[in-house]
Amino acid sequence: MQMLLEKASDTELIQSPLNYTGGKFKLLPQILPLFPQNIDIFVDLFCGGANVGVNVQSNRTILNDTNDNLTYLFSMFKNFGDEFLSMIEEIIDTYGLSNTSKYGYEYYKCDSNTGLAPYNKDKFLKLREDFNKKTSLDYYYYAMLYTLILYSFNNQIRFNSQGKFNLPAGKRDFNEKMKEKLKKFIARLESKDYEFSNKDFREFDISKLNSNSFVYADPPYLITCATYNEQGGWSNKDEEDLLSFLDDLHNNNIKFALSNVLRSKNKENKILINWARNNADKYRVINLNYNYSNSNYQTKNKNSVTEEVLIINY
Domain boundaries, the chain: 2-67+198-312, 71-181
CATH architecture of 2-67+198-312: 3-Layer(aba) Sandwich (3.40)
Q: Which residue has the higher pLDDT, 162 or 114?
A: 162
What's the whole-model pTM score?
0.89
| Residue 267 phi, psi dihedral angles, 5° rounding | -115, 155
Burial of residue 310 (CB within 10 Å: 0-12, 13-18, 19+) is buried
Average pLDDT, the chain: 90
The predicted structure's pLDDT at residue 21: 72
The predicted structure's pLDDT at residue 294: 39
The predicted structure's pLDDT at residue 23: 82
Mean pLDDT over residues 160-185, rounded? 95
CB 48 within 8 A of CB 228: yes
User: Tens digit of pLDDT for each residue in 32-81?
Assistant: 999 999 999 999 999 999 999 999 999 999 999 999 999 999 999 999 99
Is pLDDT of 229 > 50?
A: no
Is pLDDT of 92 > 60?
A: yes
Mean pLDDT over residues 94-123, rounded? 92
Mean pLDDT over residues 97-117, rounded? 89
The predicted structure's pLDDT at residue 3: 37
> Regarding the domain delimited by 71-181, which CATH topology (the fold level of the hierarchy) does it fall under?
Adenine-specific Methyltransferase; domain 2 (1.10.1020)
Is pLDDT of 268 > 80?
A: yes
User: Tens digit of pLDDT for each residue in 278-287?
Assistant: 999 999 999 9
**DSSP H helical ranges for the chain:** 2-9, 28-31, 68-80, 82-95, 100-103, 117-133, 139-151, 176-191, 236-251, 270-278
Is pLDDT of 123 > 90?
A: yes
User: Tens digit of pLDDT for each residue in 13-37?
Assistant: 999 999 877 789 999 999 999 999 9
Burial of residue 241 (CB within 10 Å: 0-12, 13-18, 19+) is middle
